[in-house]
Copies of this chain bind each other. A is one copy, B any other.
Amino acid sequence: MKIESLTNKHVKEWVKLKNKKYRDEVGLFLVEGDHLINEALKKGLIKEIISTDNQVKADYYVTDEIMKKISNQVSISSSVAVVKKLEEKEISGKILVLDDIQDPGNLGTIIRSAVAFNFSTIILSNNSVDVYNDKVIRSSEGMIFHINIIRKNIIEFLKEMKDKYLILVTDVVDGENIKKYNKTDNVILIIGNEGNGVSNEVKTYANHKIKLNMNKSCESLNAGVAASILMYELQGDMYE
């Protein structure tokens, strides 16, 4: 189907998907570019494909002007897809808990590293940035389709898991070297907010404090980097 009017009802729907509230309501989100569309295709999650390019297999063909209105990027892609949100699956494997991560680039980077280092589940606190934010999706490089992401109250989650898992939280002062725990399977790693770290209430549910080996003159690392190195260490020896 060819659409040429900016006021077409489909166009209006697609533009509304830029808004978190509307994404939550309809359970859909947008991805841009071939790489991300292919990842969504592999998972069978595509509702419809919209393109400016007649050579591409799409459900709707639109003008550049319409694509510009749908796209979140400066250099727009020729194709965009409406994708069904991922179903939350049962919790399994190594778990990453994110306590109010705010920066979409950081969340995307952390998702990408979690897949790289074999974490199977991410629990996202209710106040964290939305996974379906376009910047999160882009910086995850499509890895959101390869991991189980669950948004919930993390205090209740940690309460439930306390006896079954080793729960680790970073502490640059009192923490033990993460290498001590790198052979552990039932592990939950908690990563805090970029500015404020892990909240005190959440900290009380951790059973071990850990830290990374680093020069004292550097107070801290970027949140995405710290989370990534910790997950790297916790993957253990599996690919060596």
Contacts and interface: CB of A to CB of B under 8 A. Distances in A.
A105 interface: yes
B225 A146 contact: no
Contact of A116 (B146, B177, B218): B218
A156 interface: no
A55 B19 CA distance: 42
A139 interface: yes
Contacts of A235: 213-215
A228 interface: yes
A240 to B, nearest CB: 6
Contacts of A125: none
A192 interface: no
Interface in A215-240: 215, 217-222, 224-225, 228-229, 232, 235, 239-240
Given A141-B220, A215-B239, A235-B213, A113 B146 contact: no
Given A229-B229, A232-B229, A239 B214 contact: yes
Contact of A112 (B117, B118, B221, B232): B221
B177 A221 contact: no
A166 interface: no
A214 B117 contact: yes
Most-contacted residue by chain B among A112, A116, A118, A221 (CB, 10 A): A116
Nearest to A146: B217
Given A118-B215, A239-B214, A113 B225 contact: yes
Contacts of A232: 212-214, 229, 232
A82 B50 CA distance: 49
Contacts of A219: 141
Interface in A130-156: 139, 141, 143, 146
Given A112-B222, A117-B215, A225-B225, 7 more contacts: A109-B222, A112-B225, A113-B222, A117-B214, A141-B220, A177-B240, A224-B224
